[in-house]
Structure 1
């Protein structure tokens, strides 16, 4: 596997939720949403806006899901959690 090269300029993406997913051509497509407000109205309206889609091979999505669930399990158990986890 090629080495990982850090890019300090890569953006962080915050999503309030994953609102759906499907598989196509061996890839998992996950649609992400964020709540956005419109301050031009009173009262303020909040909309759910699609902010992007994460597309990755199913095997990689499965490895990521397992790593996330493992980390959540450690957090709920009150145990020590590693400061970072690399999924490869």
Structure 2
């Protein structure tokens, strides 16, 4: 899918669970290649989004978010724990 089509699907799915994101998207991009992921070199951690977002009810989890591990299953699990702590 092209990025615009993907965004429309994400917006529709979010609306199904009660999140109206249409006017809240500041920027987006679609990851299609391994080269699009954030570099693991020093100085690139600030590019990773935090688990908490300014959108009510939207919390992120995944190895791409801010967490101390590289893009691994451990990083994804740690990120999920951080996201779960925000839900409490």
Taking structure 1 as the reference length, what is the TM-score of the superposition? 0.23
Higher helix share: 2
Select the structure of larger CA radius of gyration: 1
